[in-house]
Amino acid sequence: MLGRLQNQQYIYHSNQPKGEFGKTLKEIENLSRALLAKDKKLKRQQKELFKLAYSDHLTGLPNREAILDIVNEKTNSGKDLLILSILLNKTDIIIALKGHTAFDKVIVEAKERIENYLPSSAIVGRLGNNQFCVLLPSAAIDLNTIKDTCQSLQRLLNQPYVIGEEYYYLSSNIGISTKQKEIEPSLSELIYLADLAVLEKKEEIAPNLHLFHPFLLQERKKYHSLEVALRKAIESNKFHAAYQPIVSLGNNSVYLETLARWRHQGQWISPVTFIPIIEELDLMEKMTLQIAEHAARDWKDWKKRLPDISHFSVNISPSLLKKGKGDELIQLLGAVFSKYQVLPHEVCLEITENILLEDSTDQFIHHCREMGFLLAVDDFGTGYSSLSYLAKYAFDVLKIDRSLIMKIETENKQQEVAMSIVNLAKKLNLHVIAEGVETKAQLSILERMGVNAVQGYYFSKPQLFYEWDITSFDEKRKYLVH
* Alpha carbons 353 and 399: distance in angstroms, whole number: 10
Task: State in angstroms the smallest separation of the CB of 325 from ligand C2E.
Answer: 12
Q: Considering the rule CB under 5 A, would residue 353 count as an interface residue with Ca ion?
A: no
Q: Considering the rule CB under 6 A, would residue 245 count as an interface residue with ligand C2E?
A: no
Residue 62 DSSP code: B
Q: Which amino acid is at 47?
A: K
- Output the CA torsion 104→106→109→114 (10° steps): -110
Q: Considering the rule CB under 6 A, would residue 460 count as an interface residue with ligand C2E?
A: no
Task: State in angstroms the smallest separation of the CB of 180 from Ca ion.
Answer: 40
DSSP string, 13-60: HHHS--HHHHHHHHHHHHHHHHHHHHHHHHHHHHHHHHHHHHB-TTT-
Nearer to ligand C2E, 271 or 326 (CB): 271
Q: Considering the rule CB under 6 A, would residue 285 count as an interface residue with ligand C2E?
A: no
Q: Considering the rule CB under 6 A, would residue 451 count as an interface residue with ligand C2E?
A: no
Task: State in angstroms the smallest separation of the CB of 179 from ligand C2E.
Answer: 39
Letters for 274-313 (x = contact with Ca ion by CB under 5 A, - = none) are ----------------------------------------
Select from 159, 173, 170 the least CA-distant residue to 91: 170
State which of positions 365-394 bind Ca ion (CB under 5 A). Answer: 378-379
Q: Considering the rule CB under 6 A, would residue 378 count as an interface residue with ligand C2E?
A: yes
* Alpha carbons 291 and 287: distance in angstroms, whole number: 6
CB atoms within 10 A of CB 277: 17
Sign of CA dihedral 250, 255, 259, 265: positive
* Alpha carbons 353 and 184: distance in angstroms, whole number: 46
Q: Considering the rule CB under 6 A, would residue 313 count as an interface residue with ligand C2E?
A: no
Letters for 412-451 (x = contact with Ca ion by CB under 5 A, - = none) are -----------------------x----------------
Q: Considering the rule CB under 5 A, would residue 315 count as an interface residue with Ca ion?
A: yes
CA 202 to chain centre: 14
**What residues pair up with 374 in beta bridges, in sequence order?**
348
Q: Considering the rule CB under 6 A, would residue 396 count as an interface residue with ligand C2E?
A: no
User: Which does residue 271 bind out of ligand C2E, Ca ion, none, counting CB within 5 to 8 angstroms by kind?
Assistant: ligand C2E
User: Which does residue 130 bind out of ligand C2E, Ca ion, none, counting CB within 5 to 8 angstroms by kind?
Assistant: none
Residues that bind ligand C2E (CB under 6 A): 244, 259-260, 270-272, 275, 288, 291, 315, 317, 378-379, 402, 436-438, 455-457, 462
Judged by the rule CB under 5 A, the positions of this chain that interact with Ca ion are 315, 350, 378-379, 435
